[in-house]
Amino acid sequence: MSAARPVALEIARRFLRDAGDDRSLDLASVSDQQMLRRLNVVTTEGTLTNAGALAFVGRGEPALDYTRRRHRAGDSQRRVRDHGRSLLEEIAEIEKAADAHNETRHVPHGFVIGQFRGGPAACRPRSGGERRRAP
């Protein structure tokens, strides 16, 4: 369990707090060892399982490779492919990069100005408010 990266443990706690339900909030508040045990990523001998090592221990090669493009086959605007990080750290960095590049658009509608976050076309509401189905 000592191989778990402190940054990965803190990211796991942040994800649990963001979930907002009572069980997740409780889990986010316990010790590192207790959290890992309750997440079932520790063996009876006290070592991390394969899933635990992937999620919480840094790796030589990245598990994820994220490239941000404005449109299909366009030039890359941002690439996230960091060595020596745990999977949780990689996910958090990709989430941060995606949020930074998804623009907020201000759309006036009468006296109200709505704010809409950019994102994949399959996620954007249509004019009637219904969402498109993913292909």
- Work out how many domains the chain is built from and give that number: 2
Nearest to 115 by CA among 123, 103, 107, 124: 107
Handedness of CA 118, 119, 121, 124 (dihedral sign): negative
Q: Mind listing the pLDDT tens digit for each residue in 82-103?
A: 778 899 999 888 888 777 666 7
For tokens 């000592």, what's the residue?
A: 2
Would 109 be classed as within a structural domain? Answer: no
Q: Mind listing the pLDDT tens digit for each residue in 9-31?
A: 999 999 999 888 899 999 999 99
Q: Is the pTM of this model over 0.75?
A: no
Q: What Å distances lie between residue 95 and 4, 25, 54, CA to CA?
A: 21, 21, 18
Asked if 103 contacts 25 with a C-beta cutoff of 8 angstroms, the reply is: no
Would 127 be classed as within a structural domain? Answer: no
The residue segments making up the domain with residue 22 are 6-56
42 in the same domain as 77? no
Would 82 be classed as within a structural domain? Answer: yes
d(CA 91, CA 85): 10
